Structures are given as C-alpha cells and as structure tokens.
Amino acid sequence: MSEDTRPLPPGVTRRPVVRYTREGHLAPSEPDTVAIEEPLDIRISGDTLAITMRTPGADRFLVTGFLFAEGLIHSAEDLGALAHCGRPGEEGYGNIVEVTPAPGLVIDLEKVGATKRGTLTTASCGVCGRRSVDDLMASCTPVPPGPALAASVLARATEHLRTLQPNFARTGGVHAAAALDERGEVLAAFEDVGRHNAVDKVVGALLLQHGLRSARASRPSTSRATVLVVSGRVSFEIIQKATVARVPVVASVSAASALAIDLAERAGLTLATFVRDGRFNLYTHPERVREG
C-alpha cells in the first residue's frame, strides 16, 4: 500500500502541495500530510464557556484539564458527565462538548473572566485575561519542595517526548506534552496544534486516570507526576497549568519567557530549558535536582 493511500491516524489529513525544488523547479502537485485544526466549543450545562482551536482527539482529557487549570473543578469527582453533543455523522459532531457538574456542584463560569467566556481561545492563547503573576499566585498554592529529581532523568526527559510524537513526525505541525514520574516513566502524553491544549490533555489524563487532585480538593492527590515535558517555548500559561496540577518540574526543548521564569520562581517550580543532547539549563529552584 502506497503512502498516499495508507489510512491516516487521528489528528492528521492530506492536502495537495506544490514544492519548489533545490534545482529551481516547481514539482507536480502531490498529497501532503498536515495537522488538523478544528474548534471545540466547551459548554457547561448549556452555556458556552470557551472555544478553543485544537487537534481533535482526547477531547475528554482536554476539557477536564482546561476546567482544572481554570480552578472550576478540583478532582475527577467534580465531573458528572462529559460528552460530545449531537449524533455521529451530523454536521459539527465532535466539536461541541457538554459538561454536567457532579450532583450538588455549581461551576462558577465567571471565574474564567469576561475576556475568555464565550470568545475564541486560540491555539497559542492559554490564559487570556490574566494580568500579572500576583493575580495568579493569589489563586494558586506554591508547589511543595518534594523529592529531589536525578539530573540524568531530567536530561533524558525530552528524549521520551520525541518517541511520542507520531503526528509531528508526519506533519511537523503539532506540539506535544508529557507527564513523567520521578524515574522518568511516561504517565501521559499527547499532541495538539496548541501548546496549552497538549498540556491540558496531559493534566486531564492525570485527573481521570492517575488520581490528580488540586490543593483545594477534599482528598489528597495520588498522582506521581513529577516532570511536565513540553516541546515548545515555555510561556506563562504552561507554568500556570503546571502549578495548578502540582507538577514540580517543567522541562522544555526550547526557551522560556521572562514572565514564565518569574512565575516558576514564585510558585516553587523547577524550570529546565533547552533540555536536549543530555544537557539542560536550570532557571529556578535548582535544589530540587541532584547529580546522578
């Protein structure tokens, strides 16, 4: 079976492309594999909370992680039901998710803020409307010191990520995020066109499959997530999501913004950047990393 007729995995599709060659010629049009980007309308009891542009797939994890990061839920027990609206085959099916809170729980949509509710949250946005580190830290509890992480585990963190990016290998057009335990074992990993969406999917999986709970939950968290690995630049919203999820170490293939570094310092997170080829740079809380 040729590459052109081979079934594609979820999250990618084909479009025609004309390539300009090194020899100075325009090659004939041929199919190319590209990432899918579609809107997801997140609704709470019928009201639109946000619309995010994402790669379809793992929507249950994406929505759960998004609600958790925004402080609207504190554990999996806060979710009553979460399902796509409509019927398979109908136009738009799969792009609307309806969330029903657990019995007795009222989700306050105003917590998200007027800048996000009912508006488009793009694939690079994340925490639109957040104005400062002080605003965020007022609603987040700093991450406790926790056990020391071996430097060798941290140095190999992004190697795990590369093996978990099949859609990036095909398209070059998606980000990835993964959660590792202190031994470097992968707990959850996802790809998405949006950096913050990939992280939300990982956090949602930690909630639904690994016992993650916020500091405000009635029962303590049982999640073993120690490192959040991301494929792109570390920005403010990535650190925000790691802080809420109580993941003490963030590792990135790329750089970090100044605001992300400031928030990581305040939140008690260890931030490692340019984690590649067995090396990394530590910007905050290096005491959490031990040689070995």
Query: Which residues form the catalytic set?
Result: 125
Residue 121: strand pairing partners:
52
CB–CB of 191/56 below 8 Å? no
Can you say how many angstroms the Cα of residue 254 is from the centroid of all Cα atoms in its chain?
16
CA 61 – CA 198 distance, rounded (Å):
10
Grouping H, G, I as helix, E, B as strand and the rest as coil, residue 270 is: strand
Give the C-alpha distances (Å, rounded to integers) separating 272 from 15, 127, 191, 236.
37, 21, 20, 14
Number of helices (H) and strands (E) in the chain: give both, helices first: 8, 15
CB–CB of 137/268 below 8 Å? no
